[in-house]
Structure 1
Amino acid sequence: MKILITGATGFIGHQLVRVLSHEHKLTILTRSPAAAHHQLGAEHQYLGNLTSLSDFNEFDAVINLAGEPIANKRWSDKQKQLICQSRWDITSRIAELIKASDNPPQVLISASAVGIYGRQSAQPIDETYVLSSLDDSTTQDFPLRICSHWEELALSAQSDNTRVCIMRTGLVLGLSGGALAKMLLPFKLGLGGPIGTGQQGMSWIHQDDQIRLISFLLNQTQCQGIFNATAPTPVSNYKFSKLLGRALKRPALMPMPAIILRLLLGDMSELLTQGQYVLPTKAEEAGFKFTYPELEQAFASLID
Structure 2
Amino acid sequence: MRVAITGGTGFVGTALVKALLERQDEVWIISRTAKTPGAQTAKGLYYTTWTELAEQPSKLEGVQAIVNLAGESINQRWTAAAKQRVLESRLHATARVARIVQELKQKPEVVVNASGISAYGSSLSETFDESSPMNTTDFLSGVVRQWEKAANAIEVERLVKLRVGVVLNKKGGAFPLMALPYKLYGGGPIGSGKQWLSWIHLEDMIRLILFCLDNRGVQGPVNGSAPEPVTNEDFGRALGKAFHKPHWFPVPAFLMKTVLGEMSSLLLDGQRAIPRKALELGFQFRYPDVDSAMKELAGS
Offset at residue 186 of structure 1 (A): 1.4
Take 1:36 and 1:85, find their aligned partners in 2: how far apart are those partners? Answer: 30
Q: Distance in 1 between matches of 2:70 and 2:104?
A: 22
119-128 or 1-10: bigger deviation? 119-128
Question: Which residue matches 2:102?
Answer: 99
Distance 1:35 1:251, change over 3 A: farther
TM-score by length of 1: 0.92
CA distance in 1, matches of 2:199, 2:37: 28
Corresponding position of 2:48: 47
| Contact 1:227–1:280 under 8 Å retained in 2 | yes
Q: Do the aligned residues in 1 keep the contact of 2:30 with 2:48 (CA within 8 Å)? A: yes
Tell me, yes or no, if the aligned pair for 2:111 and 2:159 is still in contact at 8 Å: yes
Q: 1:151 aligns with which of 141, 148, 152?
A: 148
Tell me the C-alpha RMSD between the 2 structures. Answer: 1.8
Matched with 1:221 is 216
Q: Is residue 247–residue 300 contact of structure 1 (8 Å, CA) maintained in 2?
A: yes
CA distance in structure 2 between the partners assigned to 1:12 and 1:35 by the alignment: 22
The 5 Å alignment of 1:1-304 reads 1-22=1-22, 23-34=24-35, 41=42, 43-49=44-50, 50-54=53-57, 56-71=60-75, 73-132=76-135, 138=137, 141-159=138-156, 162-304=157-299
Unaligned runs of 5+ in 1: none
Cα distance, 1:190 vs structure 2: 0.9
CA contact (8 A) 2:54 2:100 kept: no
Question: TM-score of the superposition, structure 2-length normalised?
Answer: 0.93
1:37–1:254 CA distance, 2 compared to 1 (3 A): farther
Cα distance in 1 for partners of 2:78, 2:242 equals 32
Asked whether the equivalents of residues 7 and 30 of structure 1 are also in contact (C-alpha less than 8 Å), the reply is: yes
Shift in Å at residue 200 of structure 1?
0.4
Unpaired segments of 5 or more residues in structure 2?
none
Contact 2:134-2:145 within 8 A present in 1 as well: no
For 2:3 and 2:88, how far apart are their aligned partners in 1? 23
The Cα offsets for residues 67-120 of structure 1, whole Å up to 9 and x where unpaired, read as: 11111x100111111111111101011012212333100000011111111111
Task: Report deviation, 1:121.
Answer: 2.2
Distance 2:211 2:37 in 1: 25
In 2, the alpha carbon distance for the partners of 1:298 and 1:223 equals 25
CA offsets per residue over residues 29-50 of structure 1, 9 Å max, x none?
1224437996964641111223
| 1:12/1:249 CA distance change after superposition, 3 Å | same
Retained in 2: the 8 A contact 1:30–1:36? no
Give identity over the alignment, percent: 38
Indicate the larger mover: 78-87 or 41-50: 41-50
- Number of equivalent positions: 295
